């Protein structure tokens, strides 16, 4: 997995931001979107792409219990989101106005500025389901057997202003 992740990060020109997140950017090519905070994302705008550092996540569980691993993941994800908010401030004029990622976990952060859209069924969604099953088998083999059918890929979004509003201060 280490070699695959490094090649993926290099190919997509991802930059580490915090312990768990990797950030890239691309031009948005979809239909115009208006978010709850009033941010409008139009075709041609810069979109930040969020990716997890899977190798680091896999190492969180080595030699630890399931609950300690979950606590470590949550703590480092919060730290990464604070780092992403700082990153978006430090790159003021270049920072994307919206960040997007793909996950199997329905974000618990829907009250923290995130929104989530299920992916339409198709070859990409089926491939992501398979990829997420492999990741779950690696990260949480004990939960894989009973919950592998529940992995539904979704796109999560957070605007720069919501990111800064919810995570723009130091973690405490």
Show pLDDT as tens, one digit a residue, over the chain (172 residues). Answer: 677 778 888 888 999 999 999 999 999 999 999 999 999 999 999 999 998 887 777 777 666 666 677 788 888 989 999 999 999 888 767 778 899 988 766 655 556 788 888 878 888 878 877 777 776 666 656 555 555 456 677 788 999 999 999 998 755 5
Token digits of residue 115: 């929104």
Looking at residue 84, its pLDDT comes to 93
For residue 74, the tally of other CB atoms under 10 A from its CB is 11
- The Cα 116–Cα 99 span in angstroms is 12
Helix H segments across the chain? 2-11, 54-60, 66-90, 123-139, 141-147, 160-167
**pLDDT tens, position by position, 78-101:** 999 999 999 988 876 777 889 998
């Amino acid at each position: 997995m280490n070699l695959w992740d490094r090649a993926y990060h290099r190919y997509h020109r991802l930059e580490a931001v915090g312990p768990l997140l990797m950030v890239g950017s691309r031009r948005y090519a979809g239909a115009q979107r208006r978010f709850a905070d009033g941010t409008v994302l139009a075709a041609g705008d810069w979109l930040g792409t969020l990716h997890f550092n899977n190798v680091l996540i896999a190492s969180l569980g080595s030699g630890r219990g399931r609950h300690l691993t979950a606590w470590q993941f949550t703590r480092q994800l919060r730290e990464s989101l604070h780092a992403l908010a700082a990153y978006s401030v430090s790159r003021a004029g270049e920072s994307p106005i919206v960040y997007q990622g793909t996950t199997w976990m329905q974000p618990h952060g829907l009250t923290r500025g995130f929104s989530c859209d299920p992916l339409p069924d198709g070859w990409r969604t089926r491939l992501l389901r398979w990829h997420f099953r492999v990741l779950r088998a690696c990260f949480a083999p004990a939960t894989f057997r009973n919950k592998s059918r529940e992995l539904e890929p979704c796109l999560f979004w957070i605007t720069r202003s919501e990111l800064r509003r919810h995570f723009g201060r130091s973690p405490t």
